[in-house]
Every structure is written in C-alpha cells, then in structure tokens.
Amino acid sequence: MSNLSDNKFKNQKVTADGSNRAFIEARNIKTLWFNTGTLCNIECKNCYIESSPKNDSLAYLTFEEVKSFIDEAIDKNLGTNEIGFTGGEPFMNKDIMKMIDYSLRKRLKVLVLSNAMKPMLNRTKELIKLNHSNLTIRVSIDHYEKEKHEEIRGKNTYDVMMQGLKWLNENNFNYTLATRLLWNEKEEDLRKNFGTFIKNNNLRLDTNSPKELVTFAEMDEKIDTPEITTSCWDILNKDPNDVMCSWSRMVVRKKNSKNPSVIACTLLPYADEFDLGETLTNSLQKIYLNHKHCSKFCVLGGSSCS
Ligand code: SF4
Ligand code: SF4
C-alpha cells in the first residue's frame, strides 16, 4: 500500500498530493546568526545540532570570516540589527571575543547562546571588558531542578552552570534563559516554578516573559506532519513574513569546506537544499518549505490545518 507520508518532503516545489509547496521570500536579514562550530564541552540528549566534544561537522569560524559577513550585511544595507552566536558552545571558539567586540563596535545587538559552563567561566576576564547594554547571554537550562537538568545534560553539569549564571548576574550582564518543554509540565506551571527558582537564587529575570525565559518544543523528525501548500497561509491566517527564514540567516563552515556557507535558518544546518551559497546577498532567494521542521515548528506551531 502506498503511504502518502512516504512521499512527503521529496519534491522541492510540489507536495506529495501535487499542490504547490509554500515558499518564503526574504526581504532582509534582521538577525544574522553565526554557528561558531559544533564542538561542545558536553553532549546533551537530543541536541538539535548533535553537538558533542567530538562532533566537528561544523568547523570553527574565524574572526576574519565573521567580520566579512558583518561587513557585507552593513555595506549592502541588508537591515541587520542583531548578531547571534550559537554552537556547539560559542565560548570554545578562540576568536569569539573578537567576534563579539567587532559586532558591538558596529553598534549591533549581540546574543550569545551558551551553556554558561567552563568555556565561558574560563574567559570571564575578557568577557567583563565587553559587557555592554547591547550584549545578552542566553543560558541553556533544561530544568530548574538539578536532577532533571542532568538527566539531559549529563552528570556534574548543573552546579557549574549555576556558577556561570550567578557570575553573569553578579557582574550585571544582560542574560536570559532557554529551556525545553519535555517534562509533561504545563508551560504556565513551568514559568511559575522557574520564577521560584529565580527568586531562591537571587537572580533577576521575568519568567513570564517569553523573551526572558525562552521555551523550545522537542524536535522529533519521526513524528508525521502535513506539508504546507501555498493555500495554507490563508487557511491558517499566518503571515509568511513572520517565519524566521524571511528575516534571518545563519553562517556555518561545513567540515572540509573551504569557505563558509549561508544557511536559510538555524534549524537546518545539514540539509543541502537549505544551503544558499557563499554570500548573504545571494541568500535572499525563495525558500520552499520542503522539510518537516518548516511545517512543524515554523508554520503549524500549535495550530492545525483542519
Ligand atoms: S550545550 Fe547546547 S550545543 Fe552543547 S550539546 Fe548541549 S544542547 Fe548541544
Ligand atoms: S525550518 Fe523551514 S520554514 Fe522554518 S525557518 Fe527554517 S527554512 Fe524557514
């Protein structure tokens, strides 16, 4: 028996039932992400980018490479006002401080995603010199309880993360938290319990704010999801201009590639179809939503076609 779902997400422009696949047309790159490299000091369960102390499938970007993309964004007026650094663990990249410094000097907002562990704590002297109202560090914490956090991140990961978080707080950095929704805990309760965690640790953060406590649903590629057609935007009352790849890009350097490439978004670093070439300017092209993540995370979210 032929299963329609086996034929989904195969043809770039047409869905399994022959409809026109939905697409996004980017107009600007408000947020420019850099994946500084996939190596990480820890190995979390279900890390979406499969980072670990051994995975170097995305190699370290250099300062010169990052600088050239920032310069391109500015020179070509691509609308960039924020630079994001993700990994792996960005503080393991030897050039990260120069990258942050350059971005801040260009008057851009800077967001660094970190696990706030040893790689960050080893660089506190340099980091403190860069503290700026435009710099925010987003710390990953998989649960406010040590036991659950370590179930995902491994033994001895909680206390050192707390040391990093408290250091950021004591030294007046802007910081936010990111957590995962995988504990069968209602989001409302999770936010409330994180609020208690913040208070008990003398931290400052509004856990009711989705910007200050960012929550992520788990990404399970095995779960079936509908394909998005050009008619879905109206049916779902959704604006394509709200989808991440209409206003951001991520630069990566694939292992063994001579030059960095520009990827449509942070969610699909390994999918060749979403590799948009070597310049930001050329990356402003049509993106067909030909991946499960496009449907599940970016378009449907909590909504449904029916
Ligand atoms: S700390 Fe972040 S990048 Fe590193 S393994 Fe965990 S989820 Fe992945
Ligand atoms: S997953 Fe698909 S729709 Fe979502 S931002 Fe990436 S390319 Fe765009």
pLDDT tens for the chain, 306 residues long, are 334 567 899 999 999 999 999 999 998 999 999 999 999 999 999 898 899 999 999 999 999 999 999 999 999 999 999 999 999 999 999 999 999 999 999 999 999 999 999 999 999 999 999 999 999 999 999 999 999 999 999 999 999 999 999 999 999 999 999 998 888 889 999 999 999 999 999 999 999 999 999 998 777 777 789 999 999 999 999 999 999 999 999 999 999 899 999 999 999 999 999 999 999 999 999 999 999 999 998 998 744 454
Q: DSSP alpha helices (H): ranges in 33-145?
A: 63-75, 96-105, 118-121, 124-130
Distance (Å, whole) CA 92 – CA 123: 10
Inside any domain, residue 237 = no
* Domain carrying residue 37: 28-222+242-286
Number of domains the chain contains: 1
42 lines ligand 1 (CB under 6 A): yes
Distances in Å between the Cα of 213 and the Cα atoms of 26, 28, 105, 143, 181 are: 28, 26, 27, 12, 12
Report yes or no on 230 lying in a domain. no
Q: Is residue 273 part of a domain?
A: yes
DSSP class of residue 219?
-
CATH code, domain carrying 135:
3.20.20.70
Ligand 1 center to 90 CA (angstroms): 10
Does 300 fall in a domain?
no
Ligand 2, from 48, 243, 252: best to mutate by most atoms within 8 Å of Cβ? 243
- Residue 204, in any domain of the structure: yes
Question: What does the DSSP 8-state code read for residue 223?
Answer: S
The response to whether residue 284 sits with its C-beta less than 6 Å from ligand 1 reads: no
Round to whole Å and give the CA distance between 235 and 247: 23
The partner residues of 288 in beta bridges, in order of sequence, read 23
**In ligand 2, which atom is closest to the CA atom of 293?**
1
Q: Rounded to an integer, what distance in angstroms lies between the CA atom of residue 302 and that of residue 180? A: 16
d(CA 287, CA 200): 45
User: Which atom belonging to ligand 2 lies closest to the Cα atom of 246?
Assistant: 8
Count the neighbouring beta carbons within 10 Å of the beta carbon of residue 110.
22
Pairwise CA distance, residues 92 & 122, whole Å: 10
How many Å apart are CA 246 and CA 239, to the nearest integer? 10
Ligand (nearest to CA of 228): 2
Cis before residue 88, ω within 30 degrees of 0?
yes
Q: Is residue 304 part of a domain?
A: no
Backbone angles phi, psi at 127, to 5 degrees: -65, -40
> Is 66 within a domain?
yes
Ligand 1, closest atom to CA 38? 3
How far is it, in rounded angstroms, from Cα 124 to Cα 243?
A: 35
Report pTM.
0.94
Q: Residues lining ligand 2, judged by CB closer than 6 Å?
A: 24, 243-245, 264-265, 267-268, 274, 287, 289, 291, 293-294, 298
Residue 54, in any domain of the structure: yes
Atom index in ligand 2 nearest the CA of residue 299 equals 3
pLDDT at 257: 94
**Residue nearest (by alpha carbon) to ligand 2 atom 4:** 294
